[in-house]
């Protein structure tokens, strides 16, 4: 829970008692590598904070897995497009490593927003960061070559060491053989 408290305090100035109440609203969950936090058509109810490990968010289109996002320790993830409307997911969120999470139900999150205005600020900042990341990803996808996108990812994280080649190539929008060729070129 310390990691979550640090994550929150890095974004907002929050009273320790309020922080303690918020952090205690989360529950622990462990997901083994290859298992799912959420599957397609499952009712979306939770937000996830990753304590350790990693998750991959993907869809299946024409029998092909298309990776939308990776999240690792110290990040939050949710099927945000469905959670507010209490809809059913059209995505899968799979553990790509043994993963320890803290989860919070949407209803609890909403209650915390209503009770603590500072938590509203946290939520706003969190989703602003997330949206900026998505926009950066779209920009890179539209303006950079596959090789440049791969090099950009290498600069920003250790994702290339932690993610299977097929999933990374899907995320980059290229075939595994193209990614292998790119990796050989830059060695």
Q: pLDDT, tens digit, for every residue of 152-169? A: 888 877 888 899 989 999
The domains found in the chain, sorted by start residue, are 2-115 (2.60.120.10)
Instruction: Tell me the C-alpha distance between 162 and 126, whole Å.
Output: 24
Q: What's the average model confidence in pLDDT over 124-146? A: 91
Q: Of the ranges 19-23, 84-88, 135-139, 157-161, which is most confident?
A: 19-23
67 pLDDT band, cuts 50/70/90, is very high
Distance of CA 41 to CAs 18, 44, 80, 91, 114, Å? Answer: 35, 9, 14, 8, 29
pTM (predicted TM-score)? 0.90
């Amino acid at each position: 829970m310390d990691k979550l408290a640090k994550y929150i305090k890095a974004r907002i100035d929050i009273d320790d008692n309020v922080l303690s109440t918020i952090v205690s609203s989360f529950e622990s969950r462990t997901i083994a590598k290859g298992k799912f936090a959420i599957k397609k058509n499952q009712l979306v109810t939770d937000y996830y904070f990753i304590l350790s490990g990693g998750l991959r968010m993907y869809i299946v289109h024409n029998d092909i897995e298309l990776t939308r996002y990776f999240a690792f320790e110290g990040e939050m993830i949710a099927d945000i497009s469905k959670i507010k409307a209490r809809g059913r997911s059209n995505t899968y969120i799979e553990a790509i490593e043994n993963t320890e999470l803290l989860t919070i139900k949407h209803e609890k999150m909403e209650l915390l927003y209503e009770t603590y205005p500072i938590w509203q600020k946290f939520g706003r900042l969190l989703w602003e960061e997330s949206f900026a990341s998505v926009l950066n990803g779209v920009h890179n996808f539209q303006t950079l070559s596959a090789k440049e996108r791969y090099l950009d990812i290498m600069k920003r994280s250790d994702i290339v060491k932690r993610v299977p080649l097929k999933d990374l190539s899907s995320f980059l929008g290229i075939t595994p053989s193209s990614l292998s060729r790119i990796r050989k070129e830059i060695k």
